[in-house]
Amino acid sequence: MFKLNNKNIIVIGSGSGIGRSASLAIAAHGGNLICADIQNIESTIKAVKEINSEANVIPFEIDITNKSEIIKLMDEYDVVDGLVCTPSINVRKLLIDYTESEFDKVISLNLKATFNVLQASAKKMKLNNKGSIVTFSSIRGSVVEPGQSVYAASKAGTEKLVNTLAAEVAEYNIRVNTISPGPVMTPLTDQLRNDKLWNEAYTTKPALQRWAQPNELAGGIIYLLSEASSYVTATNLTIDAGWINVDGRFNPNI
């Protein structure tokens, strides 16, 4: 049910963090891979080969803020069965202090590039009447904190793009979903983990009282790519250790 044997899957953001873990998990489940990122691709491919020496892996250097590179990426396979897109950026600043260039920087990658990836991958999958697209939102698409205005808006926007696309391509047997992680130990969160107070706050808020490792998101990705989720589309899979629904910071003496 969770096997990806002979499936052609593109992972954008495979050089680090969640994208790297997704690539390793896809290889372990038998999928063919295009490892796409702006850097660190060879390191991921080496790790993939250690897991599955017979894995068919193609490196592809890409800047996904360049639409023409996204289109070129889609042409690497005749058939694309699945796509995972993880890259994001954040500028943590109060909204009243945000500059226009900072706004454009976050929206350009998190929302505009995601739009272009969604559009290009859906067009490709439509040719073969099948496919699964998995992109990333965040708990910040649902709950916010000071300094997260533009990032939160980009993630909420991603969810609505995905939901609408899912409705538009369902007749072609294409499923489109998002994953919303809680606190994960990736390069994006280095700034928080290196600050004692922020790190403590993010450690104690989830019910499980810890940060996630990137590989703890891999199960959700495999689920959404595989036939195990054949009836799942326009869905946001939250993997947050209870962050949204449970306040882990206070345990009353009852």
Domain containing residue 112: 8-239
Q: Alpha carbon of 81 to those of 4, 7, 172, 201: distances in Å?
A: 9, 6, 12, 39
Closest CA to 249 of 190, 205, 209: 205
Mean pLDDT by groups of 10 residues along the chain of 254 residues: 95 98 97 96 96 93 98 96 98 97 98 99 98 98 95 98 99 99 90 90 90 97 99 98 81 62
Query: Number of folded domains in the chain?
Result: 1
151 counts as catalytic? yes
CB 139 within 8 A of CB 181: yes
The encoded tokens of residue 195 equal 């600050």
Domain assignment present for residue 1? The answer is no
pLDDT, residue 252, reads 61
pTM (predicted TM-score): 0.95
Domain assignment present for residue 148? The answer is yes
- CB hemisphere CA count around 143 (13 angstroms): 14
Domain assignment present for residue 248? The answer is no
For residue 101, give the CATH number of its domain: 3.40.50.720
Domain assignment present for residue 113? The answer is yes
**Rounded CA separation 245/239 (Å):** 11
pLDDT, residue 6, reads 92
- Work out whether strand 8-12 and strand 32-37 pair parallel, antiparallel, or are unpaired: parallel
Domain assignment present for residue 218? The answer is yes
Q: What is the pLDDT of residues 77-93, one digit of tens each?
A: 999 999 999 999 999 99
**Rounded CA separation 54/56 (Å):** 6
Domain assignment present for residue 251? The answer is no
Domain assignment present for residue 3? The answer is no
CB 9 within 8 A of CB 81: yes
Domain assignment present for residue 43? The answer is yes
CB 100 within 8 A of CB 147: no
Catalytic residue among 151, 172, 202, 223: 151
Q: What is the pLDDT of residues 16-61, one digit of tens each?
A: 999 999 999 999 999 999 999 999 999 999 999 999 998 899 999 9
**Rounded CA separation 31/26 (Å):** 5
